[in-house]
């Protein structure tokens, strides 16, 4: 079983979006017995809060109606529990590298690393940009490539 933890700053927009999209793709590809996902934050700012209403609306718009999540911060046990810790932006990656034991750095990755032809290297935060459509498009395309990479 491959375990993936998606990570962003607050765990209310991008990383829960990636978790929900990946869960749908896992179900579509029949990989529930092979891949497990969750999401977390590098900060405690939104701890315990539900998914942002903009993310929820975008997920529903794209046929994901049964997703529920409450923000949580990355904990030390995550570094041993998860095989991949996939970050939305370079700031998340830097913060995670400070938190992670050195022998776990190889499992830290950027979500868009599987889209090398794409001009963006980071997933823009719709909490600040308001563009949940752009974020969903990037997350969806990257999750599709991660499924291919891991299956």
In three state form, how does the secondary structure of 50-95 look? ECCHHHHHHHHHCCCCCCCCECCECCCCHHHHCCEEEECCHHHHHH
Q: How many residues does the chain have?
A: 151
Over the chain (151 residues), the average pLDDT of each successive run of 10 is: 97 98 97 97 94 97 95 97 98 95 96 91 96 98 96 85
d(CA 65, CA 56): 8
Region label for 63, one of left (φ > 0), alpha (ψ between -120 and 50) or beta (otherwise): left
Decide if 125 is catalytic: yes
Single out the catalytic residue among 13, 14, 78, 89. 14
Decide if 8 is catalytic: yes
Please tell me the class of the 2-150 domain: alpha beta
d(CA 83, CA 104): 9
| Confidence at residue 44, expressed as pLDDT on a 0 to 100 scale | 92
pTM for the structure as a whole: 0.96
Single out the catalytic residue among 13, 78, 125, 143. 125
Decide if 60 is catalytic: no
Angle, in degrees to the nearest 10, between helices 53-61 and 132-150? 60
| Confidence at residue 27, expressed as pLDDT on a 0 to 100 scale | 96
| Confidence at residue 118, expressed as pLDDT on a 0 to 100 scale | 83
| Confidence at residue 119, expressed as pLDDT on a 0 to 100 scale | 86
Nearest to 118 by CA among 142, 94, 144, 135: 142
Q: Would you list the domain boundaries of the chain?
A: 2-150
| Confidence at residue 116, expressed as pLDDT on a 0 to 100 scale | 86
| Confidence at residue 23, expressed as pLDDT on a 0 to 100 scale | 98
| Confidence at residue 3, expressed as pLDDT on a 0 to 100 scale | 98
Say how far residue 73 (Cα) sits from the centre of its chain.
13
């Amino acid at each position: 079983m491959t375990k993936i933890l998606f990570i962003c700053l607050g765990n209310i927009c991008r990383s829960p979006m990636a978790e929900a999209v990946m869960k749908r793709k896992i179900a579509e590809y029949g990989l529930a017995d092979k891949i497990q996902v969750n999401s977390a934050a590098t900060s405690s700012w939104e701890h315990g809060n539900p998914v942002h209403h903009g993310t929820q609306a975008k997920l529903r718009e794209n046929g994901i109606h049964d997703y529920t999540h409450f923000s949580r911060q990355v904990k030390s046990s995550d570094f041993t529990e998860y095989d991949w810790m996939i970050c939305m932006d370079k700031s998340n990656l830097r913060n995670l590298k400070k938190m992670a034991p050195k022998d776990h750095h190889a499992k830290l990755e950027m979500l868009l690393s599987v889209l090398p032809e794409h001009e963006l290297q980071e997933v823009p935060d719709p909490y600040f940009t308001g563009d949940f459509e752009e974020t969903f498009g990037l997350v969806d395309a990257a999750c599709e490539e991660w499924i291919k990479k891991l299956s």
